[in-house]
Structure 1
Amino acid sequence: MASLLEINELSKVYADGTAALKNVSFSVAPGEFIAIIGPSGAGKSTLLRCINRLVKPSGGAIRFRDIDAAAASRRQVRLLRRQTGMIFQGYNLIQRVTVLRNVLHGRLGYMNAVSGSLGLFSRKDVADAKAILHRLGLTEQMFKRADELSGGQQQRVGIARALSQKPQLILADEPIASLDPVASRTIMEHLSGICREDGITCIVNLHQVAMARDYATRIIGIHKGEVVFDGRPGELSEETIHRIYGAAPDWREQGGESLARA
């Protein structure tokens, strides 16, 4: 099967000299649900942001279908982002507008500038957004403002917004880092379940080793900007986890649930 995404010798060095990524290479097949694990500062967020060009790589190649993301033109970057839904740790919702309107913003990449600025969404877009919210258990919240929702509910809105793009690839950057254990499980159940049912490929950054083992079809471990593990969850040994996390706190803390309050 042809790869959906190919990353070859990707590197990123920031202006202050920090080498966030060092010769990262891997391919992603359609339908995979990949968890990227590693300590804070390992380069996980930089990797996702290079894929959709929120960050420009310093070297290497990123090929998404027929687009070379590392060298993409402005028009190609727009096309790339249209096909790659992004889910953020901080939700990135517009707090003062409704849940439904936030989800519809996922359609802006398909609209012209005038329609988009005026919020002239089609009836089909509205119907599809409502169906996605129903699927995520948010029917009763769709006309509430985003700031009226709990953290877990807001992250489900973030998932719904990404799904409204009808993406081939979803990039989720620490989507459960600020959530309590129950909300974290709910988010991972929704995200992994919908991606599996709809055949959407997903790459998700996680701190929690246990979550990666429970939900991913494949795990990539990053340490100091380099890939040090790439395999199935069952192949992830305690020794490998220590190599990924290095001098970070005991990996068992990473394997437990997030203790942050929702």
Structure 2
Amino acid sequence: MAAILQVERLSKKYSDGTAALSDVSFELEPGEFAAVIGLSGAGKSTLLRCINRLVEPTGGDVSFGGVRSAKASAHEVRLLRRQMGMIFQGYNLIQRVSVLRNVLHGRLGYVGPVRGALGLFSKQDVEEAKSILKRLGLEQQTYKRADELSGGQQQRVGIARALCQRPKLILADEPIASLDPVTAKIIMDNLHRICREDGIACIVNLHQVEVAKTYATRIIGMRKGKMVFDGRPEDLTDRMISHIYGESPDKE
């Protein structure tokens, strides 16, 4: 199967000299569910943001669906981002508007900012957003304001917004970092299930090794900006975990 994503010798050095990423390379196949693990500052978030060009890499390239982002025009980058759903640790919802409107913001890359700001979404878009909310068990919250929801519910709205883009790839940056274990399981169960059912590739950043082993078909270990492990969960040994974290894997 041809790779949907190719990351080639990706590097990012910030103006203060910090090397957030150093020569990272891997490929991702359609439908693959990959977890990226490592300490805070290991480069996990920078990796996702370089993939969708929220952060400009200083070296290497990313190819998504055959389009090389380093050579892509601003218009082409917008088209690439349209196919990459992003889920954030802090939810990134508009708190004072409805859950439905937040989910429909996933369609902004298709309808444009003016029509989106005016709420001029098609009937088909609205019905699709409602259907996605139902899949995530949020149909009763459709018309509530986002700030009326619990943290776990808000994160499911974030997943719904990403799905409303009809993405080929989901990038989830620490989606359960601020949630209790029970709520975290609900989030991961939903994300994993929908990606599997819809054949969406996913890269999820996680601190929790056991969560990564439970859900991922593949684990990438990051340490100080470098990729030090890339393999199946069953091949992630205790010795390698110690190398990735340099200390207890439960610490950040």
Using structure 1 for the length normalisation, give the TM-score: 0.94
Amino acid at match of 2:74: R
Q: Which residue of 1 aligns with 2:104?
A: 104
Contact preservation (8 Å) 1:50, 1:70: no
Partner of 1:228: 228
Q: Residues of 1 paired with 2:6 and 2:223: CA distance?
A: 20
Q: Post-superposition shift, 1:113?
A: 4.0
SS at match of 1:24: strand
Q: Distance in 2 between matches of 1:113 and 1:233?
A: 41
| Match in the other structure for 1:38 | 38
Look up the match of 2:48: 48
Q: Give 4+ residue runs of structure 1 displaced > 4 Å after superposition.
A: none
Alpha-carbon distance in structure 2 between the residues aligned to 1:87 and 1:59: 25
**Letter of the 1:20 counterpart:** A
Q: CA deviation at 1:70?
A: 2.7
1:193 corresponds to = 193
Report the AA paired with residue 55 of structure 1.
Answer: V
- Percent identical among aligned pairs is 68
Give the match for residue 68 of structure 1: 68
8 Å Cα contact 2:4/2:66 also seen in 1: no
AA of the residue aligned to 1:189: D
- Match of 1:140, SS state, is helix
For 1:190 and 1:130, how far apart are their aligned partners in 2? 16
1:113-132 aligned at under 5 Å gives the runs 113-132=113-132
Counterpart CA distance in 2 for 1:15 and 1:70 is 19
Deviation, 1:83, is 0.2
Counterparts of 2:202 and 2:17, CA distance in 1: 30
1:10·1:22 contact (CA, 8 Å) conserved in 2? yes
Check the 8 A contact 1:83/1:168 in 2, yes or no: yes
Residue in 2 that maps onto 1:181: 181
Partner SS, residue 163 of structure 2: helix
Name the SS of the counterpart of 1:176 in structure 2: coil
Letter of the structure 2 residue corresponding to residue 150 of structure 1: S
Deviations for 1:166-211, whole angstroms, at most 9, x for unmatched residues? 0000000000000000000000000000000000000000000010
- Partner of residue 91, structure 1: 91
Corresponding residue SS for 1:25: strand
Task: Name the Cα RMSD after superposition.
Answer: 1.1
Match of 2:8 in 1: 8
Of the structure 1 ranges 68-77 and 234-243, higher mean CA displacement relative to structure 2 is found in 68-77
Partner of 1:213: 213
- Point out the more displaced range, 87-96 or 59-68: 59-68
Distance between the aligned counterparts of 1:197 and 1:41, measured in 2? 33
Match of 1:138 in 2: 138
Residue aligned with 1:240, SS:
helix
Cα drift, residue 215 of structure 1: 0.3
SS of alignment partner, residue 26 of structure 2: strand
State the AA in 2 paired with 1:226.
K
Q: Any idea what the Cα deviations from partners look like across 1:208-238, whole Å, max 9, x if unmatched?
A: 0010000000000000011100000000000
3-state SS of 2:166 partner = coil
Partner of 1:149: 149
Equivalences, count: 252
What is the DSSP-based 3-state SS (H/G/I as helix, E as strand, rest coil) of the residue aligned with 1:89?
A: coil
Secondary structure class of the residue paired with 2:242: helix
Shift of 1:9: 0.6
The whole-number CA distance in structure 2 between the counterparts of 1:5 and 1:125 is: 27
- Structure 2 gaps of 5+ residues are none
8 A Cα contact 1:86 1:170, kept in partner: yes
Q: Structure 1: 5+ residue runs without aligned partners?
A: none
Alpha-carbon deviation of 1:7? 0.6
SS class of match (2:36):
strand
